[in-house]
Structure 1
């Protein structure tokens, strides 16, 4: 696996208007083996006074997800930080190229390949002149981001994790059974469907169903989404790797809701068990801060206003003190 993009790739694929409208731009990130990711930036934040912002934040989304959070970009920009986000290969803005190449949307055989996507994004951000890079991962992105930072010392200067997916949200016997099932099946039949991601959480968040958010249901599905054996095998292997300890040498902030549940999608984490996250978080390194957001949703940035604002204040305050 390539550890950095070819320098020639840094000069290709110009910025273009983004689907989020005015002030947001996107560009294609060419990757090895003709794969593609997409980098998004909040343009007013990059060089607000004619010089690059000192700190750049790179957001990494979760599974069956993409970046559609302009309010988060604006909050970080108001604190003086440049804001970028990456749609990983097969997700959101990067969906079409991945599917056209014959791959399953939102999934890869080994999530370690996402290191290439983050390498390319980080290289482009560093080339813009920012001195410090903070990677902000949500859910599956919260698993990918610290593993990448550990494997690439010096690429990130801090890590922020929003409800990271450290542990499969099942009782221990079911987690063991799932690990045994996909250990072999993921090798011999990686496209076999082993479960489905139910759409209840996404439906509750969408404005068509009483939520606040107008995301694209073609990219964040409103129907059960098939989970394939190869992808799940790599997730479980990555979770075990993280639980053994990463020894990150940069400051880490882990944020969760105050509780988990099954049906209060707007005010609890109905996707992950917050106690699992808190138990594993110390394995990330020696400088790990834990913060709890009362009434937070799974994606804390999509919580109701009071919890959402508390989350953004917590991130901004921690960045100001730590980076």
Structure 2
């Protein structure tokens, strides 16, 4: 196991097998010590003499709200494409969450720049230093992949750091508030006031547990994961966090340029309801996907939008035929932009 920054070492991950994790020390905040956690998949490249669609690339995946990385099949897919796969559990999530911390809380999404930069440095993609760059052409291409809030976070990061990534793959990115731009503008003043007066006040929980029902093997889904790191009704939310998210939505709505081609994957339809319906097993019950499709076009001049029939909010946790369709879409996109 190799040593990294701060004397930390790669060690076996909770996923076992070919997965290892590296603790990334970050600057302390008001709650105390803060870390992020980088996970890597160490399986060898497939024994294939042909050039694979993502040969020579590095992938960094970032999870969504109330989530962490556990999708082993995602790592296996990217390795089958020839890429080296890494996933990042952001501060106060998953492997990085400590008992004394408020789960998932930040009051500005740009705070995650430190987490992302630490991960990229460990991967060999640290920020370029001022002055002439030596052997710049030898750096491996970087592909970022983000789900939901992670997709918003990575989009904003890429917009602030154009040229660092050569591709952006988004899985149901949370690029707009569920009540659309008008709803965002209506609630923004109250949220801003709440963030100033009581930033850590607990907001009403609107998660009825339906999404967990579609995903978890304990209910109607097929996936096993740590319910402490991905709770049934999500983490509590707070005004300062919601303000940060709404600001991110506004930034995207105004238009940014991530400086790279974008692939945005999402369901063909949404089912937003306070009552359980079987349709929730084959649609996005978290976001309004029509709005997400439109907002995706604000990220770059070159954006590919793939609407997948039967997909749930995390496209990669959908039923197997949908997952296979999603992987086929990514492969087509890779061949179009990255094939040698």
Q: Give me the TM-score of the superposition, normalised by structure 1.
A: 0.90
RMSD of the alignment, in Å? 2.3
8 Å CA contact retained: 1:256, 1:274? yes
Deviations 1:34-76 (A, max 9, x none): 4210000111157989xx9610111110000000100111111
| In structure 2, distance between residues paired with 1:310 and 1:184 | 44
Partner residue, 1:284? 299
| In structure 2, distance between residues paired with 1:80 and 1:291 | 22
| In structure 2, distance between residues paired with 1:104 and 1:141 | 18
Question: Is the counterpart of residue 135 in structure 1 residue 144 in structure 2?
Answer: yes
Name structure 2 gaps, 5 residues minimum: 49-53, 127-137
Q: Secondary structure of the residue that 1:270 maps to in structure 2?
A: coil
Alignment of 1:199-218 (within 5 A): 199-218=209-228
Deviation, 1:155, is 2.1
Q: Secondary structure of the residue that 1:37 maps to in structure 2?
A: strand
Structure richer in helix, relative to its length = 1
Matched residue pairs, number? 310
Deviation, 1:112, is 1.4
Q: Secondary structure of the residue that 1:211 maps to in structure 2?
A: coil
Runs of 4+ in structure 1 off by over 6 angstroms are 46-49
In 2 relative to 1, CA 186–48 (structure 1 residues): closer, same or farther, beyond 3 Å? farther
8 Å CA contact retained: 1:197, 1:224? no
| In structure 2, distance between residues paired with 1:157 and 1:245 | 19
Deviations 1:235-283 (A, max 9, x none): 0011101111112221111111100013433310100001111111111
| In structure 1, distance between residues paired with 2:171 and 2:150 | 9
Which stretch of the first structure deviates more once superposed, 125-134 or 64-73? Answer: 125-134
Q: Give me the TM-score of the superposition, normalised by structure 2.
A: 0.85
8 Å CA contact retained: 1:45, 1:83? no
Partner residue, 1:169? 178
Name structure 1 gaps, 5 residues minimum: 1-7
Question: Is the counterpart of residue 67 in structure 1 residue 66 in structure 2?
Answer: no
Deviation, 1:10, is 3.0
Question: Is the counterpart of residue 22 in structure 1 residue 17 in structure 2?
Answer: yes
| In structure 1, distance between residues paired with 2:320 and 2:326 | 10
8 Å CA contact retained: 1:45, 1:81? no
Deviation, 1:192, is 1.2
8 Å CA contact retained: 1:28, 1:38? yes
| In structure 2, distance between residues paired with 1:316 and 1:124 | 26
Alignment of 1:108-123 (within 5 A): 108-123=106-121
Alignment of 1:1-323 (within 5 A): 10=5, 12-33=7-28, 34-45=33-44, 54-96=56-98, 99-100=99-100, 103-126=101-124, 131-170=140-179, 174-198=183-207, 199-223=209-233, 225-262=235-272, 263=277, 264-323=279-338
| In structure 1, distance between residues paired with 2:252 and 2:183 | 20
8 Å CA contact retained: 2:45, 2:82? no
8 Å CA contact retained: 2:144, 2:154? yes
Q: Secondary structure of the residue that 2:87 maps to in structure 1?
A: strand
| In structure 2, distance between residues paired with 1:168 and 1:249 | 24
8 Å CA contact retained: 1:76, 1:316? no
| In structure 1, distance between residues paired with 2:306 and 2:214 | 25
In 2 relative to 1, CA 253–172 (structure 1 residues): closer, same or farther, beyond 3 Å? closer
Q: State the structure with more CA Rg.
A: 2
